[in-house]
A and B are shown apart, each in its own frame.
Chain A
Amino acid sequence: MIRPRVRKVLRDVWHHKARTLLVVLAIAIGIVGAGAVLNTWSLLRRVTREGYLATNPASATIRTDSIDAALLERVRRLPGIRDFQARRTVYGRAMVGGTWRTAVLFAADDFAGTTIGALQPVSGAWPPADGSLVVETSSVEYAAAVVGEPILVQVGEAEPQSLEVTGITRDAGLAPGWMEHVVYGFVTPATLARLGAPASLDLLQLTVEDRTLEWEAVRRIAYDAKALVERSGRRVQNVDVPEPGEHIHAAQLNSLLFTQGAFGVLALLLSGFLVINLVTAMLAGQVREIGVMKAIGARGGQLAAMYLGLALVLGLVACLIALPAAAVLGRWYAGFTATLLNFDTTGYSIPGWALAVQLGVGALLPVAAAAVPVVRGARIPVSMALRDFGIEGEGGDGPRILRRIGGVTRPLLLSIRNAFRRRQRMGLTLLTLATGGAVYLGALNLRSSIRNSVGYMFGEVLRYDLSVGFARSYSAARIEAAIGAVPGVAAVEAWNGVRAAAARADGVLGNSFPLGGIPAASRMVAFPVDSGRWLTSADSNALVVNRSLRQGEPEAALGAELTLVIDGKPSRWTVVGIVTSGPGATAFATREVVARATGDSLMDRAMIQAEIAEPGAQAELSRRLRGALEAQGFEVGSSQLMAESRRVLEDHLLLVAGFLMIMSQAMIVVGGLGLASTMSLSVLERTREIGVLRAIGARHGAILTMVQAEGLVISIASWALAIPLSIPMSVILGRTFGRIMMPVRITTLVPESSGMLAWLGVVVLVSLVACAWPAYRATRVTTAAALAYE
């Protein structure tokens, strides 16, 4: 049999259905916000760790000359090595929509028997047959690849070959093709031969026996293998040892999710504030009943248990709604983020512990939020509880400044002062709405900053409109003369480049990075210099490194002398500057210095500024350029329109800002619910006052206006507070985003007037909607009932 006190609580819940629903919704929204982020994080962690490790990623990759069975056999006998395999990587180009795009083709003798970096077939056939191409899934969009249709592929000077796309597969170890602007494809050595490329395999991939080894230990084993390869008479071009067990983008992923996790927790905290308000509201209507129950023998503990038990039940009900919604949202966002990282979440489930945490937090949050008002309510002396008339006894008219307000009507003055009567509750409501506003305005600022930064990057830093990569090298003068003669070209620079690796103090090489050879007085790039200086024509061995290379390579400090190994040959360099140029490790030197280091004075790429900024005209220029260059005997490997790169980058970056906007919308809903609860409570507590107002002549409209005006006072105050709060919010968002995605210049600190006005519109609308029911309730109060209100 259900105890009367339990019946009472349940019937109270039913009696105040609207308020109960608000509490449940408030908790549910908080849990959905925080739970979605937790689900995303835990699912991605599982996918990137388990999924990445399940592919058995290479512990090290050695690039050398052709690898044969005898070499592989010797590698097999090396201690500490578990798996090994040979591959070949060939750079070429693929025709996409009439434009050549860079293609990277991977070849292996036996893809089906691949042990390292296992590939996951997505659709169509696998492995590739001779004469066909299997496209890596992250390149499908960039390659406009369709299974069953051909793609024209060219390597070097050879005749372009039409290869049928027979399948799509995923290589979780590759940086996404859409991001790298590369068409990744898998072919057989026979197909390579047909394309005119060397069919021999030149990449030795290996995994270590002990997967728990640290990076240094793995590197030692890799260098044993390197020594073995060199003893066989082959030249080793470079050795890459990634961080063991860590996906290439793991750090970025963690930062991204940490930021969004912070917003999830914020949403949860704000919903906690709302629950405090709502439970206080619930108890405020029960003070007299609490007094009666204490008068007939109820102990404080019994009363506290009644109401905390109710909070627990409401939390559990909220979880019933929130957990599935958070799971759907989390899966969706994890799927989106996984795609960015070239992973697939299909087949992975959200870990049970993540759901348990959400259930625990969802159930206990309202209990924790209710604890203070419940304990306070349970401790209220019986005599005081029995005398309770809401806030009738509370005197004062709010902050001193409110006493000086003049020039407004009495009812409006009453509304303004009423808003400040319960300062703690008003403060929580204000904070909830203002935080939602700060996130909203901060996300708007971030969006503007992203657009400005992308504009800055593609306008001020990367000043060229298109680039051309050659399959062979040519003299700078020949390239620049040929391109400069094409109508529509405003300026051209020929560049060169090579891969280099820093030799460390212990003689071991670090991971390789691209070293770009640029004219000292380049008009095509202007990287922001963090410290030191940019290149000059007088430099002989000067090196400028970007921030990412500096962070990953301890030797590359400003002013340091370091040894770079280029094509197997060491050379000494001095770091003269550190610049910001993107997330990947990169270094720059003058093209003459790079030419000296490689022993090759020819250039293999060109950066071009167009006379017309319109993307369509630039695409047309790109086609004419290719035709003109090929007519003069140039072998064009690839060409890239910066407008297209900009669009792709901007779209993906703005998706992240979009997620923050969604979070801010959730906070606005929480804030609106908070306001609704505050105003309901305000009306409930002032029933007697409303009765008095009616008795002295206040009409329906006046009462309605007063309640709405009180809500508007709080909303507009929150709007005013959100504007300064959005400034630190913008800085935090911009900096975090800069660490994760790309350096964002926080160009917008003070929100644009349109954003501020939009937010004002939102809060006014939220206020009018939130106060509609309390205002209606206030108009239903009859004078007689209000004055007899118990």
Chain B
Amino acid sequence: MHPTSEALITLKNVSRIFPGAAGPFSALSDVNLTIDRGEFAVVVGQSGSGKSTLLGLLSGIDRPSTGEVVVGGTAVHTLSEREMSPWRGKAVGIVFQFFQLLPTLTAAENVMLPMDFCDTWKSGERRSRALALLERLGVADQADKFPPKLSGGQQQRVAIARALANAPALLLADEPTGNLDSKTSEAILLLFQDLVRDGQTVVMVTHEQSARHLASRTITLCDGRVVAND
């Protein structure tokens, strides 16, 4: 499936300034950006360029100092902390570099957890949905294992399944291959490509050069500013 012209993400004049011991530090400056539904956008840049800050703003984990962040028609920057969690649980799926699976839950239970928190599926259907997602990601046979028993690649697949649990419009991935070997990294990137083909919007922060070839758009950040968007 190809991107539609309907914007899923709109950033208007977004800046993020962090206070610091040596004075305020501007992580993002006057960023304007639009990402359409179905896009596979890759965000690249050097360390400290503002990639993770951008992802944090898109997920509502962080808030802009100025400007507007609109995702799926929701002005994220206006949501209260109480409104933020349920919105994020339903609208956004997040994949972390270090997987961040809860070690005391099995793979299937990790995937069921967002459904549990957001009450999105009937409780009787949650496990079968979790198993279906794990099947889709090729780790159904690991469903009842605890994360420490899984390889890095398997853990990241489970983490992606968890991110998809509530069928979010947007999948955000923060260096999802940063902790994996090259072969596994490639497999994970192809997985994201498959998801995009199925209509999923993905925004991924990465250092992987190969990701640029799979993505529909590459956004390059430097010192908190968008220097390339193609």
Chain A contacts to B: CB under 8 angstroms: 1, 3-5, 7-8, 11-12, 15, 288-289, 292-300, 302, 379, 381-383, 386, 790
Contacts and interface: CB of A to CB of B under 8 A. Distances in A.
Interface of B: 56, 59, 61-62, 81-82, 85-86, 88-90, 93-94, 96, 98, 100, 102-105, 109-110, 112-114, 116-118, 123-124, 162-163, 165-166
A507 B118 CA distance: 83
Given A1-B123, A297-B89, A292 B81 contact: no
Given A4-B109, A292-B102, A790-B98, A297 B117 contact: yes
A293 B114 CA distance: 8
B85 A300 contact: yes
Given A5-B117, A296-B94, 19 more contacts: A5-B116, A8-B105, A11-B104, A292-B100, A293-B117, A294-B85, A294-B88, A295-B61, A295-B94, A296-B113, A296-B162, A296-B163, A297-B85, A297-B90, A297-B117, A297-B118, A298-B85, A300-B85, A386-B96
A292 B86 CA distance: 13
Contacts of B116: 3-5
A7 to B, nearest CB: 6
Contacts of B105: 4, 7-8, 11
Contacts of B109: 4, 7-8
A15 B146 CA distance: 13
A383 B56 contact: yes
A273 B106 CA distance: 34
Contacts of B56: 383
A8 B113 contact: yes
B102 A289 contact: yes
25 contacts: A1-B123, A3-B123, A4-B105, A4-B112, A4-B116, A5-B116, A8-B102, A8-B104, A11-B104, A293-B102, A293-B113, A294-B85, A295-B59, A295-B100, A296-B162, A297-B90, A297-B117, A298-B89, A298-B117, A299-B117, A300-B81, A379-B81, A381-B61, A383-B56, A386-B61
A4 B118 CA distance: 12
B85 A383 contact: no
A531 B129 CA distance: 88
A294 B82 CA distance: 10
Nearest to A790: B98
Contacts of A381: 61, 81
A302 B104 contact: no
Given A8-B102, A292-B100, A383-B62, A299 B113 contact: no
Contacts of A3: 116, 123
Contact of B104 (A1, A15, A297): A15
A383 B116 CA distance: 22
A297 B84 CA distance: 8
**Contact residues of A: prevailing secondary structure:** helix
B196 to A, nearest CB: 21
B173 to A, nearest CB: 13
A790 B147 CA distance: 14
Nearest to B162: A296
Chain A CB count within 10 A is highest, among B61, B124, B163, for B61
A298 B165 CA distance: 13
A288 B102 CA distance: 10
B81 A297 contact: no
The 6 closest A-B pairs by CB, nearest first: A297-B89, A11-B104, A296-B114, A4-B109, A297-B117, A298-B117
A790 B114 CA distance: 21
B100 A288 contact: yes
A15 B56 CA distance: 31
A295 B113 contact: no
A426 B203 CA distance: 45
Nearest to A386: B61
Nearest to B104: A11
B20 to A, nearest CB: 13
Contacts of B103: 15
Given A296-B89, A300-B81, A300-B82, A382 B61 contact: yes
Contacts of A300: 81-82, 85
B54 to A, nearest CB: 13
Contacts of B118: 297
Given A11-B105, A295-B59, A5 B85 contact: no
B224 to A, nearest CB: 17
A458 B179 CA distance: 82
A11 B162 CA distance: 19
A12 B104 contact: yes
A379 B88 CA distance: 16
A298 B115 CA distance: 10
A444 B94 CA distance: 61
Contacts of B81: 300, 379, 381
B113 A4 contact: yes
A454 to B, nearest CB: 60
B102 A297 contact: no
A202 B94 CA distance: 95
Nearest to A297: B89
A605 B51 CA distance: 102
Nearest to A5: B116
B176 to A, nearest CB: 14
Nearest to B87: A297
A299 B82 contact: yes
A299 B116 CA distance: 11
A15 B162 CA distance: 23
Contacts of B124: 1
A12 B118 CA distance: 22
A300 B88 CA distance: 13
Nearest to A295: B94
A382 B94 CA distance: 12
A64 to B, nearest CB: 82
Chain A CB count within 10 A is highest, among B82, B93, B103, for B103
Contacts of A379: 81
Nearest to A3: B116
A413 B110 CA distance: 43
Nearest to B89: A297
Chain A CB count within 10 A is highest, among B86, B98, B102, B124, for B102
A203 B35 CA distance: 105
Contacts of A5: 113, 116-117
Chain B CB count within 10 A is highest, among A12, A289, A292, A293, for A292
